[in-house]
Structure formats: C-alpha cells, structure tokens
Chains A and B, each alone.
Chain A
Amino acid sequence: MKKLFAVALGVLSAIGGFVDIGDLVTNALVGSRFGMSLAWVVLVGVLGIVVFAEMSGRVVAASGRPTFDIVRERFGPKVGLLNLGGSMAVTLLTYIAEIGGIALSLELATSVHELLWIPVTAAAVWIVLWRAKFALLENVFGLLGLALIVFAVALWQLGPDWSELATSAATMDKPASEEWSTYAYFAVALFGAAMTPYEVFFFSSGGVEEKWDRSSVATMRSNVFIGFPLGGLLSLAIAGVATVTLMPEGIEVETLGQVGLPVAIALGKIGFAIAILGFFAATFGAACETGLSLGYSIAQYFGWQWGKFVRPREAARFHLVILLATILAAVVLLTTIDPILVTEFSVVFSAVALPLTYLPILMVANDRGYMGPLTNGRLSNTLGTIYMVIVLVASIAAVPLMIWTKMGTS
C-alpha cells in the first residue's frame, strides 16, 4: 500500500511537474497561430524525453553517476567544459524565464506589477532551495501543478469539433497565412520546450538525491512512462484551447494572461484562478529544478560535493553557485526585459544544446562496465539513435531558422 502510494505520488508529481514556462508559452503561442498542425512535434518531443529520461534514470540506478559526471568522463575536461558552458548558459536562461514566469503569475493574481514581484520571487526560490527537503520541493509543486488540468477541462467545456482538431493534427495542416519557414521554426521551438536539457540534469541528479539503485528502476519507469506522456497531454490541451478560442479571433499569444484567456472564456473567473495557481506551481517548481540543475552540473563537472542530501555547509560551493545564479537571474529580470521574450529564447537555445546532453547519455548507457545488466537493449538503442538524428537536425536548424524568420514574426 505504501509502495503504491509512493508510485502514485511520483506519477502525479511527474504529470504536474512536466509543464514549465517554456511549454506554457510555446504551446499557447503555437496553438493560437498554427492550430493543432504542430501537435505531432509535442508527441515526438514527449517520446524523446521519455526515452532519454528513462536512459539517464537507468544510468543512475546502475552506477549512481548523474549526467555531468558522465559528460566529463566521456568527453574529457576540454570538450566537457565547452559542454558545461553551453548547457549552463541555456539552463541559466531557462532559470531566468521561470523566475520571471512566477512574477508574471503573481502579477495576474494580484495586479501588482511583475517587476515588484521579481526580488520577492527570487528570494523565495532561493529560500526553498536553501531550506526545503528535496522530496518536499519535488512533490508539492508537482501536485499543485496538476491545477493545469483545468486546461483539459476548459477544452472539453468549449466543446470543439473534435474531428476537426484531430484532422488538423493528423494532416499537419498549416494555416495558409503562415510560411513554412515559420512553421519549421515553431516546430524546433516546441521540440526544445518539450526536451529541455535541464529536465535530464534534474531527473538524473534527483535520482542520486533519492538514492536510487537497481530496485528503483520499476518506480522510475512508471514515473517516466505514465507521468511524462500525461504531462504532454496537458501541453496539447494548452495548445488546443488556444486553437479553439484565440486562433479564430486572430489573437497571437504575447503575455501569460493570454495563455490563460481561453480558460477564462470557458470556465470564468474560478477557472482562470485555478489556471493562475497552475502557472505559479509549474513555474515555481521548474525554477527550483533549473536552479538546482545549475548547481548540480557545475559541481559534477568539478567533482565537488553537491546535493540536498547533505547539509549546506558540506556542499558549500554547490550552494554558492545557486545563490549567485539566483542573484544574477533577479538582476537580469530587473533590467525590465520581458520574461516571455526570455522564454522564447530559452526554448530555441534548448534545442541548440540538446545533443550536448543526449549524446553522452546514449553512449554511457551502452557501456557494460557501467551498466551491467541494465545496459541499453535494442529498443532503447534504436529509439536513441533515431532521436540523436532528430536532435542534431533541430540543433543545427534552430539558429538559422530563428534569424530567417525573425523569431517567428515574419
């Protein structure tokens, strides 16, 4: 019974914790401009994150080694350092976007300007990372994030023509008013949002925090195989409600309020309030995950003690990194930069950085010396190889497409 409860809790947290500011903004924006014609990218992205999260979870269960330990061992210190620099730049960008997202949710709830909330939210995130127990921060925000189910409810309440939605998703039917280059740009952005590298850093380091071993593989798999796809359904629901309500009106999503607007239309004030709670939980949870990921990855590259399973004084450099990153994020946001713009950049550069994370995991998951009986089987390797190709294409195409389409505005 206790075990069942633990599994259910893990799955529910995985669902609620799947969506972050990148998914919220990108899915709503794509829904409002392209309808469901890019839904296939979400499916591809979710399957990709499932494949690689499961692989990295298995590496942790077999060897106790998280992602950046492996990056450094496999690539050596020079290439490893380049990889660290690239991955951390993207994760920092995501961290900034998430903290901005919390401030925007609070602005929606209180009508107090977002800039006034930024010092408060940055301090709150830091206090949680400093004091809260790992299991607490993982589960509380994950469960609160389930409030985003309100998007699925809203979609059902709106009573769309389901067959039309399904047809546009299945035929990848691009609206005539949009260019193919813009379509490709948003495909890459959606893919980057679904497969954000920090998810794997956090997932694998979290496995070490929770002391996974070979017996944890079943639990880990249930979280990944059930939780992530259901979380992906929430992403589709966000795009779906935008398709039904915003696209016919010609509204392009530019603010977090517009992401929640379809829920307000469908369910009124109460629904909108629940959506805001969902935004808050999703961004706060993701801010914790990205903040920790920064500390995890840098500490793992250099071999420092890290983690919340030891007291802060035993992992002093790890906590120093988190503190400095939080201050930096607040400073950047206080320049009055638009967090939504930061988010759009973060998902595109996530797509650029994907191979840096996923290639070493695929390689080490094949090393018998590490993995023993948990070495990759044929299915993992086939999917892993296919995804390496997809990830490489997305990575190479991302920046040219961004420039070509002027970030999707042309």
Chain B
Amino acid sequence: MSEIHIRGTLDGQLDLLDRQIVSSDGLLIANVDDLELEERADGTLIVSGVLVGPGALGRRLGGALDFIIVNTWSRLTGRDPDDPQRIDYAHVSDIATVLTVDESREVIDIDGLETWARVRVIEALPGARDDRETSTPSTEPSRLGTGPAQAGDRHRFSQLAGMRVVFSDGRVGDQVTDVRFGRGEPRGHLPRLVTEGLVVGRHTAGTLFGYDRRRQQGPWLIQKILRLLHRSTGHVAWSDIRSIDWDDNVITLSTSELTRLDDL
C-alpha cells in the first residue's frame, strides 16, 4: 500500500520533519533529520530525498552543537561534513504519522554507531544472540540513496525555513516558518512533493504545533495563546516568489503582502 495518508497539502515542518522512518519490515531506522530539496527548471523545488543522521541533525541544532556533532560524525565516518546520509524520495513508499521506506532493515546500513555498539558491546555480552543464529549482514549495498539523476541544485529544507522575506516594496518581513507542498507526477512509489507556497511568521521555525494553521484545534486556552503569538502569520504562493538567495538566506517576493492562512 503506497500512499500519502495526509489529506490536502503537506507542510514540511509539521507533516514531514522529525518523523520516524520505518523499514519495510516495520523496524525503526532513523528520524527525518532534514529534507533535501532539488531545484527544477520552472523555479519550484521538489523533495528529492530525506537526510538522516548526525550529519543532518547537527546542522539544525546550530551553534557549537552543530560544529561538534557534524565534525565528530565526519571524522568517525570519513564522510564529507556537507554530505549527510540520504534516502532518496523514490524509496519512500508511504507517508503517514511515520515514513516507510521500501527496503528491509537487514540490507540498510543504518548508522556507524549502531553497528559499533552491536559488534563491540551488545553481541559481546552473554545472552545477546542465543535465541537465533546470527545472520551475517548482507554484503549487498543499500540502495536507499539511489534514485533518479540529479536535475538541479540541491538544498536543505532547514536552510529555506528560517530565511527572511523581502516584499516587493522593499519592506523586510518576517521569516519562513514552513514550506507547503502539493502533489506532482510520481517519483518512485509516491507523487512527488512540489513547493506550493511559504508560511511566513514572526517566530522561529520550530513553533510547529499547527495552531497557526488549523482553526479548530483545541484545547481552547492553548489555542488562544498560540494563535495570539502567531497572529502575524501568513502565506505566500510560490508563484509570488521573485528570487531566492541561498547565500544570504533572503527571499524576495513579487507581492507586497501576505495572505491570511484562514482565508486559504
């Protein structure tokens, strides 16, 4: 059953980021630590992959933690600090409260720390493997990273969320708190996720309870408090974006105001 179980549009922060990733045999693999976005010729971005592991998570934590985690991870794995583990979107077979991928745990080389802990500590302890014969790890390399050829520049979702917006009249607005995706033609098992618009608000990306978007969500007191905090939040259609400056983290719009989220 390959399907996106979330109705309507998907919001990156709210519906995808930090969700659990599960293998085809139901075991836990990793969390969605970041999303990889790929530029297309028409100016939209698609979700081309899911980034996992310390190399992706560290960047989102920022500051000293970013430096320590990413560099430690890079030293230990021998990977480039800017090249975190990725799972191509073509291998994502289902999106619900968890993301499911199309391979079993046996063939997925999850994480260096897991392998180290298993080989060096856990399997060395008595009682770790008497209930079944230890299966030798598959020598077949994981295909999760492979997918359709790269067609444009790739960026991280976490960089786009957090960018400042500048209106057409030159006013500097708030920042991008979420990115809204619609469904396009298939890539792998699922319709590809194409950017449709931005959610812009005063507060940092990370205030993601969805209270700025869903009017009916209770309880009453929390809803009122959060909606008050989010009262400046609005939406910009992707077609109203004039340019995205990935070096200075600024998005220039061709409109001079935001649409209220309630009016969508």
Tell me the A residues contacting B by CB distance below 8 Å: 63-65, 69, 72-81, 130-131, 299, 301-306, 310-314, 316-317, 319-320, 323, 362-363, 366-370, 376, 381-382, 384-385, 388
Binds A, one of B41-49, B188-196, B219-227, B251-259: B219-227
Inter-chain contact B208/A131, CB cutoff 8 Å? no
Interface size on B, residues (CB 8 A): 52
Q: Residue A130 contacts which of B15, B114, B127, B214 (CB distance < 8 angstroms)?
A: B127
Tell me if B172 counts as interface (CB < 8 A to partner A): no
Q: Pull 24 A–B residue pairs with CB atoms less than 8 Å apart, ordered by A.
A: A69-B20, A74-B209, A75-B208, A76-B208, A78-B61, A78-B62, A78-B206, A299-B28, A301-B31, A303-B30, A304-B28, A304-B114, A305-B28, A305-B29, A312-B125, A313-B122, A314-B105, A316-B118, A320-B121, A362-B219, A366-B219, A368-B214, A368-B216, A369-B15
Inter-chain contact B117/A384, CB cutoff 8 Å? no
Tell me if B217 counts as interface (CB < 8 A to partner A): yes
Q: Residue A75 contacts which of B52, B57, B125, B206 (CB distance < 8 angstroms)?
A: B206
Q: Residue B28 contacts which of A306, A319, A368, A369 (CB distance < 8 angstroms)?
A: A306
Hey, which chain A residues are within 8 Å of B97, CB to CB? Answer: 63-65, 369-370
Inter-chain contact A313/B118, CB cutoff 8 Å? yes
Inter-chain contact A77/B20, CB cutoff 8 Å? no
* Known pairs A78-B206, A303-B21, A381-B220; A313 contacts B128 (CB<8 A): yes
Inter-chain contact B132/A317, CB cutoff 8 Å? no
Inter-chain contact B27/A310, CB cutoff 8 Å? yes
Tell me if B147 counts as interface (CB < 8 A to partner A): no
* Known pairs A73-B18, A323-B121; A303 contacts B219 (CB<8 A): no
Inter-chain contact A366/B114, CB cutoff 8 Å? no
In the assembled complex, the Cα of A304 lies from the Cα of B105 at a distance in Å of: 12
Tell me if B205 counts as interface (CB < 8 A to partner A): yes
* Known pairs A316-B118, A317-B114; A376 contacts B27 (CB<8 A): no
Of chain A, the residue at the smallest CB distance from B62 is: A78
Of chain B, the residue at the smallest CB distance from A369 is: B6
Q: Please give the distance in Å from B107's CB to the nearest CB on chain A.
A: 14
Tell me if B210 counts as interface (CB < 8 A to partner A): yes
* Known pairs A63-B97, A311-B129; A316 contacts B121 (CB<8 A): yes
In the assembled complex, the Cα of A78 lies from the Cα of B158 at a distance in Å of: 12
Inter-chain contact B61/A77, CB cutoff 8 Å? yes
Inter-chain contact B208/A74, CB cutoff 8 Å? yes
Q: Please give the distance in Å from A355's CB to the nearest CB on chain B.
A: 12
Tell me if B134 counts as interface (CB < 8 A to partner A): yes
Inter-chain contact B222/A316, CB cutoff 8 Å? no
Q: Please give the distance in Å from A267's CB to the nearest CB on chain B.
A: 41
Q: Residue B122 contacts which of A320, A362, A370 (CB distance < 8 angstroms)?
A: A320
Tell me if B113 counts as interface (CB < 8 A to partner A): yes
Inter-chain contact B219/A381, CB cutoff 8 Å? yes
Point out which of B20, B21, B122 has the most chain A C-beta atoms below 10 A from its C-beta. B122
Hey, which chain A residues are within 8 Å of B13, CB to CB? Answer: 76
In the assembled complex, the Cα of A131 lies from the Cα of B122 at a distance in Å of: 12
Tell me if B202 counts as interface (CB < 8 A to partner A): no
Point out which of B20, B28, B206 has the most chain A C-beta atoms below 10 A from its C-beta. B28
Q: Please give the distance in Å from A19's CB to the nearest CB on chain B.
A: 30
In the assembled complex, the Cα of A173 lies from the Cα of B61 at a distance in Å of: 50
In the assembled complex, the Cα of A120 lies from the Cα of B65 at a distance in Å of: 37
Q: Residue A303 contacts which of B29, B214, B222 (CB distance < 8 angstroms)?
A: B29
Interchain residue pairs A-B with the least CB separation, the first 9: A303-B31, A316-B118, A76-B206, A381-B219, A316-B117, A305-B28, A303-B30, A316-B122, A320-B117
Which residues in window 7-26 of B have CB below 8 A to A? 13, 15, 17-21
* Known pairs A77-B60, A78-B60, A78-B206; A313 contacts B134 (CB<8 A): yes
In the assembled complex, the Cα of A218 lies from the Cα of B122 at a distance in Å of: 37
